[in-house]
Structure 1
Amino acid sequence: MPCLVRHTNHQEHDAGDFFSDAYTLAWCRVMRACPQVTFYAYTKEVRRFKRLIEPGPPENFLWVYSYGGREDSFIDPDRDRVADVFPDEDAITEAPEWSSQEASDLLAVLGPRLVGVPANRIPQFLKRMGGRRLSEWQAEIDAERAHRRQRHLRLAPNDPSAPAPTPEARASVNDAERHAA
């Protein structure tokens, strides 16, 4: 298979990710077929990479796990190479242990293990970030999802540890019982 990549360093997925096992393994075959090229990628597919890539990665493939996805809880910042989006360059400078990759995108995979990426200057995105790192914002979203799931999973009647139902929930149950009778 001829190598069609003409760069010595090739970033996979400027936007997007490794969306399936088959697709990820296909890229591994391309990487192994082009040993003269160093491939690198940011990914939020943490579980897929830990299962498929980490046990035996192509020698010319470097990756960094990106915070801000549904699999953030599977990232081990003490062991994994990690990227986080910060509100700006100053926020990265103020964060202990984090280094900026602003000088070169390759620093995300060749530099220190914890790398900060300044957010794109998109006003509505920066407003929603509210001065938080992307990992912090995602943690808030995950906590809110877990709280909603927990509210809907109370199955044991008269469970003393379960929070009392709200008046709206009681009214809804009463209406449902009335209509069922």
Structure 2
Amino acid sequence: MASTASARPHQLRSVTAAFGHAATYSASFNIRGYQYTGRFLFPAVKAKHQANLAFVLDDMAGWETAMLAELSAPRHDNGWVRIHDSGDFFSDEYLLAWLRIIRQRPNVTFYCYTKEVERFRRLVETDPPANFRWTYSYGGTQDADLDPERDHVTDVFADEAGITQAGWTSQEECDTDAVSGPHRIGTPARRVPHLLRRQAGRRFSEWQAEVDAEHANRRERKHLRLVVDYTRPDLSERPTAEPADQPRAA
């Protein structure tokens, strides 16, 4: 049915969730769109992604028809198609549209990376198409819901040595290993100097844990600032407003 995991997957020209649908508190967002570097910053590529996103938002039914037509091309038969080279499933409606597309193209194996754990638990895991595989990417706001004993998970490491030392498996040689190989897959970070400096040797899962702790501390501090202790003697009686002077009757 599908090609072997070692085969080079076809890349589908698909919508990206860039430019407004990033997870604000994710580690990857903290390095200002980790996946949106290199060719993604070329004006023509950026414009294409923006046009794809607008197509989905403005005409979901038309976009779905266009995807089905593109996927009917013979080059996709018995092949692998990666959904998104950047971006994610930003709404229930959008994910459900992809599930319909996948089911109508059983001769193609689809796969993806996603941080939308809760959405996939609800809409995919209960009844997944036979030709759809996915891996959950660490570095998102729902990392705590992942279980590497049960889920296929992918983490971004600073380099290949870090992947080996952690006992994980690299997908560098074949991208489809992320969904068809062991449950714990490592991806080496892109060799972009300023992004590597910000990553500072951390895995995205470790960085995300730091981000989550920082935001939890901020929420706690904000909560404490709003709480007033009225058990203190000097605050035990709250001041009451004096009645305003009433005008005298004429």
TM-score (structure 2 length as normaliser): 0.61
Give the equivalent residue in structure 1 for 2:189: 119
Give the equivalent residue in structure 1 for 2:97: 26
CA distance in 2, matches of 1:126, 1:62: 29
| 1:70 counterpart = 2:141 | yes
Post-superposition Cα deviations, 1:96-126, rounded to whole Å, max 9, x if no partner, equal 2x11111100100000000000001111110
The sequence identity of aligned pairs, in percent, is: 56
RMSD of Structure 2 on Structure 1 (CA): 1.7
Give the equivalent residue in structure 1 for 2:217: 147
| 1:4 counterpart = 2:70 | yes
Larger RCO, structure (CA 8 Å, separation 6 or more) = 2
CA distance in 1, matches of 2:111, 2:205: 21
Structure whose alpha-carbon radius of gyration is higher: 2
| 1:95 counterpart = 2:166 | yes
Note the residue ranges of structure 2 that are not aligned, 5 or more in a row.
1-64, 231-250
Give the equivalent residue in structure 1 for 2:157: 86
Once the 2 structures are TM-superposed, how far is the Cα of residue 156 of structure 1 from its aligned partner? 4.5
| 1:41 counterpart = 2:112 | yes
Matched positions, count: 159
Once the 2 structures are TM-superposed, how far is the Cα of residue 157 of structure 1 from its aligned partner? 3.4
Amino acid at match of 2:215: R
**Selected match of 1:107 from 177, 180, 191:** 177
CA distance in 1, matches of 2:201, 2:157: 8
Once the 2 structures are TM-superposed, how far is the Cα of residue 78 of structure 1 from its aligned partner? 1.9
- SS of residue in 1 equivalent to 2:93: helix
